[in-house]
Structures are given as structure tokens and as C-alpha cells.
Amino acid sequence: MFYKSLPIKTFTFSFGYDIFIGNARFICRFLIKLFRADKGKEIIMLTIGCHLSSSKGYLAMGKEAVKIDANTFQFFTRNPRGGNAKELNPSDVEAFLAYAREHGIQRILAHAPYTLNACSADEHLRDFARRTMEDDLNRLEYTPGNCYNFHPGSHVKQGVEAGITYIADMLNQILKPEQSTTVLLETMAGKGSEVGRCFEELREILDRVTLSSHMGVCLDTCHVWDGGYDIANHLDEVIHEFDQVIGLKHLKAIHLNDSLNPLGAHKDRHARIGEGCIGKEALIRVVNHPALRHLPFYLETPNELDGYAAEIALMREHFLESNTI
Ligand code: FE
Ligand code: FE
Ligand code: ZN
């Protein structure tokens, strides 16, 4: 009798406790900011999370995010090396949507498998990228209004112009006017023949997509640094350049990573915040920048959950509360 009722009680308690803690944190943070903010200044709450494993479904990711004081998260839509996606579980999706509303979880970010290459020289691989992304976009409509990030691809000796043409063609085939998901091109480090190594290449892709209102850009701090944009010493100039070339209104998300390599290394090796060449202070300036602070930030640093919790706490501690944009 006793051992039968125990698991239920434990479950009820922990579920209730989770909701209580999550709500209390969210409401307290909002009230503190409301009282501290000067009149007439816009109140912005920091939206930050990290990459989470999607193996246990949406609700599990939502709970994990709340546990580490995140209010968003990123996840792979399927095995990062490609392959079949797990069957969607409608009751898990429903439970997550309710949980996200209750706990103030903001727009989440789906990440396409990083091995897809929409501009491969091999027609079968291009076709595989198109079908996989189309399937991902269909599935993402069950959690509407979020973003889907992908690596533009590698042109491998075909030249960047051919690469851009293939990528834009694919997007023109898979985007639908009625979709609610915004598709993001990620800024790349320029490793090998990666397309997206500079702002101009991303702009060129965006220019060729017909349904451009469904498109945006995700800026990865490690990648742009490796690509040669000095966000540690010239953040204002880099943001200005982004605005001139792409337009800040197209910037929808930031991947917040330190880099193991020096400026312009074209390597793409992420480091924990403060353990790389960009540095803690520079990344705190990124999070607080008036043109960026309203965006969602996603950590993709080499960490377990407790490491992510510490980095989220660090950024929350240093987030200035009443900046205006
Ligand atoms: Fe990525
Ligand atoms: Fe990234
Ligand atoms: Zn990377």
C-alpha cells in the first residue's frame, strides 16, 4: 500500500514544486524590473537558454530549461548527423505548450542537422537536405511561431556563387506563405568552403528568397569572431556593418559562445564563456548591447547542465536592467 502510493505523491509534489519555482522566478523578475525601471524606458528581460537534448521530448526540455533558470532553449530536430526524426508525440507537444505558457518560456530555436548540405555538388545530397528541412518545417508547425536555424552549407570547389544559388533555390522550394516558423541562416566561421563566412554572402541568399519575411539570421559569436569580425574590441563597428549589409531587423537570434581560436582563424571550436579568445567581458557587452539585448541568446558552449546554469546565472547577474533601445 505504502510503496504503491509513494511514486504518485513524489510526482505530484515535484510537479507542483516545479511550477511554483518557475512561476515565482518569472513573476519576481518581472516585478523587480518593473519597479526599478525608470519611467519611459523600455523594460527588457534577458531571454537566454542553451542547447538541450531533445531525446526525451519537448516537455522534458521545457522542465530542464526552467531548472537552470533559462527562459528559452535550442534543440536538434533529429540526430545532428541527419537520419529519421522521432515520431512527434501530440500529448508531449500539448503539455509543453501549456508548460511554456505557465513558465514564461519564450520563442525556442530548432536547429537543423549540421551535416545537411543544401549546396552540395551531389544532387542526391542536395535533395536529402531539401526533404529533411521540408519535413522539419512541417513538424515545427505543431509548435508554431518559433525559429529554425540551419548552416547554409559548403560549396566544395563549385564556388560561392553556385553555392548561394543552390541554397536560395532550396529555400524557394520549401518555404510556404502560411508557415509560422522563421528560418534563420547561421553566420559561419568560414571553415573549408562554408557559405555564410561574411555578412555579404548571407545578404545575397536573403535577396534571392521570394518569401523573405519568413527568413532571418542567427549570429554565432564564435563563428563571426573566427570569420574575422572583432566583436571583442570593435563590437559597435561589427554591429554597424551587420546593419549596413544585412539589416538589424533580420537578426533574430544570437548563439553565445566563446572561441578556442584567435580572430579570423576560420576554425569553429567553441569554448566556455571566459575560457576562450573572445572573453567574458566582451560576451557580457554582447548581451547588453542596445541593438542586441532584446534578442534570444543560446549558449552552445562545451558544458553539462550545471555549466550552462552557471553561464546563465553569470549573464543574468551582468544584464543591465533599464537600458533603452
Ligand atoms: Fe549551428
Ligand atoms: Fe552556432
Ligand atoms: Zn560552431
Model confidence at 86, pLDDT cuts 50, 70, 90, reads: confident
Nearest to 323 by CA among 297, 290, 291, 300: 290
pLDDT of residue 1: 35
How long is the chain?
Answer: 325
Query: 107 alpha carbon to ligand 1 midpoint, in Å?
Result: 17
Per-residue pLDDT of 232-277, as tens digits, reads 999 999 999 999 999 999 999 999 999 999 999 999 999 999 999 9
C-alpha closest to that of 69 among 36, 32, 28, 34:
28
Distance (Å) from CA 12 to ligand 3 centroid: 40
pLDDT for 81 equals 82
C-beta atoms surrounding 85 within 10 Å: 16
Q: What is the pLDDT of residues 143-168, one digit of tens each?
A: 999 999 999 999 999 999 999 999 99
CB count, 10 Å around CB of 151? 22
Q: How far is the CA of 155 from the centre of ligand 3 (A)?
A: 18
pLDDT at 30: 62
Write b or e for each residue in 183-207: b if 16 or more Cβ atoms lie within 10 A of its Cβ, otherwise e.
bbbbbbbbbebbbbbbbebbbbbbe
Rounded to the nearest angstrom, the distance between the alpha carbon of 187 and the centre of ligand 2 is: 8
Q: Which of 85-89, 243-247, 285-289 has the lowest mean pLDDT?
A: 85-89
Distance in Å, CA 188 to ligand 1 centroid = 8
Nearest to 319 by CA among 41, 108, 33, 52: 33
Ligand 1 centroid–CA 186 distance in Å is 6
Dist CA 92 CA 3 (whole Å): 27
CA of 73 to the centre of ligand 1 (A): 13
Q: How far is the CA of 300 from the centre of ligand 3 (A)?
A: 8
The pTM of this model reads: 0.89
Query: Are 106 and 71 a contacting pair, CB within 8 Å?
Result: yes
- What's the pLDDT at 12? 40
- CA–centroid distance, 268 to ligand 3, in Å, is 5
Write down the mean pLDDT value for the chain: 91
Rounded distance from Cα 227 to ligand 3 centre (Å)? 11
Number of CB atoms found within 10 A of residue 81's CB: 10
Ligand nearest to the CA of 189: 3
Q: How confident is the model at residue 80 (pLDDT cuts 50, 70, 90)?
A: confident
Whole-number Å distance between alpha carbons of 272 and 299: 9
pLDDT at 17: 53
State which residues have CB under 5 angstroms from ligand 3, the bound ion.
268
What are the residues whose beta carbon lies below 5 Å from ligand 1 (ion)?
A: 186
